[in-house]
Amino acid sequence: MDRSYMYVSLYMFILETPKFLKRTKIVLFLNTFENEWIYYS
């Protein structure tokens, strides 16, 4: 495996991680919101 390729993939992963975390946070928030909504209605 080429070393430069490894660095590039690592760099891309680091760039993508915040977006991924934000997406999961939004999904978790929506899930809890729906659960609360069902619980209170």
Q: Would you state the pLDDT for residue 24?
A: 87
Is residue 1 pLDDT above 70, yes or no?
A: no
36: left (phi over 0), alpha (psi -120 to 50) or beta: alpha
The percent of residues above 70 in pLDDT, for the chain, comes to 88
Average pLDDT over residues 8-34: 86
Is residue 18 pLDDT above 80, yes or no?
A: yes
Report d(CA 37, CA 39) in Å as an integer. 5
Q: Would you state the pLDDT for residue 23?
A: 85
